[in-house]
Structures are given as C-alpha cells and as structure tokens.
Amino acid sequence: MELKGIMGNGTEKHSIIPIPRACTLELTYDCNHTCPFCSNRWKNDGGHYPRSRLLSGKEWIGIIKKVAEIGIENIFISGGEPTLHQDFLQIIDFLLNYQYKIPYYISDEEIKFKSKSVKFTLLTNGDNPIFTHKLLERLSKSGNIDLSITLVGNREFYLKEINGDFEKIIQTIHNAVDVGLNPSVSIPIYKSNVHLVKDLLVESIEIGVKRFLLMRAIPFGTMNKEKIVTNVSDLRKLLRKIDELASRILKTGSKSGQASQIEIAMGTLMPKCKFDNSDYEYIDFYSMCNCGILSFCIDPSARIRPCSCSEIIIGHSDNIIEALNSKKNNEFIHKIHNIHPSYCNGCLFLDECSAGCPAGWYYSDLQNSFLDVSLDKNFQ
C-alpha cells in the first residue's frame, strides 16, 4: 500500500509503508462498568467527541470483510464493552466462520488463492451472562480467537469503584481456562488499585492464567491525572515486585501447580528513559508508537481514527485506504515520529521512543511539559 506521507521536514513525498497489521473495531459506546481510568475518547469530560448512530451487526460484518480483504490479519473487538452490542453474537458467529481468499502463488500465467480465517482478539471486562461455558467452549474450538479479560480489583473494589460483578468476572476467567482458551488478563494500574495488582496476578495464576497485560493509566478520557495516575516511584516498586513474583513462580511453581510459564508485558507504551527491558527480567516494555501506520481503529459509528487513544477522525470506513492516506493521518504520523514534548530535548532515546503514549501529549503545548505523567517532573 502506498501512502503519500509527510516526511521529517514537513514536505510531501511518496513513501511505501506496510499494510496495517491490525485494526480495532469499537462496536459500541456503551459499557456496564464505571471505571474512573476509562480512556474512551467519547467519555472525555468536554463531551466534544461526536456520537452518531450505532452500526448494526450487518454493517460491522461488511466492515470486517473490507478490513480482511485489504490484507489486515489481526482484528481487535472492543468498545465500550463489545458484548453489549445488540448483535454481538451475530458478529462473533461471522468472525468464527468467515474465510477470505489471499494469493499464495503468482506467475505470468495464473494467480492461485487459498482461504484464510480472520484472527481476532476480543477485549472484554468478562462481566456479562453472555459468557456461558457453552459459548467459551465454542470460541476455544474455533482456533482463531484470542480472549483478553480486564481485571481491576477484588470484590469490594468492584462494588465501590467499578460497579461490576467480581465473581462473574472470575468465573469467566475460570471457564475460559477450563475450555483451553488460554485467556490473557489485562490489569489497569492506577492509584486506587496499585496495592491490589500483585494479589490479582497471584489469584489469576492460581486459576491457570499464563498471559498478562499491565495497563498503565494514561491521562485522557475520563481521567483526572492528579487523582488517578500512579507516580513513577510507586509504579517502579510495583513492577519490581511483579518481576520478583514471576521469577519465584517460574522457579518454584505456583501453589496449584498450574504455572509452568508466565508472560507479562506492559500493554501501554512506556518512556524508555524511565522504564526499560534491561531493568526487568520477566516484564516486556514497548516504547515506540506505530499507530496510523501499522494499526488504526473504527469507532461505533464507522469513523476511522489512527488509534483508540486518539480523538482525531481521519475518515470513514466507506474508504479505509483513503482515510489512511489522508492529510490528517499523515500529520498525526509526522508529529508522533518527528516531534517530541520539550521534556524529551537532548534524550538519547529520541529515535526509539514516543515519549509514552503520543495521544497523551498530542494536543498539548509542546513547550509546556504537560503530559505523559511518567515524565512530568511533578510526578517523579
């Protein structure tokens, strides 16, 4: 795919970039939880993100076909809470059975095609009666789904802060493990739950979970950074404890004997000057953003954004390629790869790091050191 890109000096040139590897489909604006760290752009306090009519299941199926036929191999199903979409099961049924044709042999005389299934990841809070043992078993047998379940706190925490059913979520995780889905558990980290994160890991490991994403709270959406975001010192202490926990379990085993391997990664971008793979043995970190290039998202009303963290609308699902080629998307790509906040001046890692999540600092005055709280001098 050829994108007419704005290069480092701001002039327009043609550059060839890879076809995006992933697309996130935000099925609905709705959610049954009240997470104070929610990063959905339409939950911004200003309320300026436009909401429009929700797409039907049939319309989402049409978009999935378009995405797959472009050559995008990984689809993430998100929201809001995606299971609340009225046609959720229709969409899942399609994803489980849909196959599209890709060329595998090209010569002067012929082109040969083979069928391929869509690989998709369902991002859910797990708090929905729709997750019956029967449904999870069916998902497991399909072989083309990855399930990621968010876990925020214990029973009391869910009642007080999330308005969710802790027991139902744990049961969903249990059932997913039992049927062989090998789910990942995603754990957001912010001030209110930082003392619970290690226990959540231990409980999940005892259930049989082997894969974890730690999601550092980022200051946008509904978040007030002073009240929500964990400071660097506390986050480092927690990550060291988690690293030690992983080491101990991998060497001695878990109480249940379930854990023979554990994979832990930070699911949000981390500033390389503050958090680096070399400092932790069992936690993987990522520092460079490739949103708008290797991935993009489509909101509940078919509008395209460079990523789920960004509120910039670059086009419509009627023409995905046009959106990715758009001036707005190229300006976004140019800024996150060629401009950094002032607090990054002189940093040795400028070519390897996006200063945390760029959506956090994209709209700020780059001369004023707002943004990624991990770099904010007031939060050291």
pLDDT, position 369 = 32
Distance CA 24, CA 72 (A): 11
130 neighbors 168 (Cβ within 8 angstroms)? no
d(C-alpha 26, C-alpha 380), whole Å? 34
Q: Which residue has the higher pLDDT, 363 or 16?
A: 363
Report the alpha-carbon distance of residue 216 to residue 268 in Å, rounded.
6
| Model pLDDT for residues 3-25, shown as the tens digit of each residue | 443 333 333 444 445 689 999 99
d(CA 330, CA 235): 34
**CATH for the 19-379 domain, from 3.40.50.1380, 3.60.150.10, 3.20.20.70, 3.30.450.30:** 3.20.20.70
Q: For position 380, what pLDDT does the model report? A: 36
Instruction: Report pLDDT digits (tens) over 145-189.
Output: 999 999 999 999 999 999 999 999 999 999 999 999 999 999 999
pTM: 0.89
Looking up tokens 């009303």 gives: 301
The DSSP string of 103-130 is EEEE-SS-EEEEEEEPEEEEEE---STT
Q: For the chain, which residues make up each domain, given as ranges? A: 19-379
* 260-273 per-position pLDDT tens digit: 689 999 998 888 88
> What local confidence, expressed as pLDDT, does residue 345 receive?
83
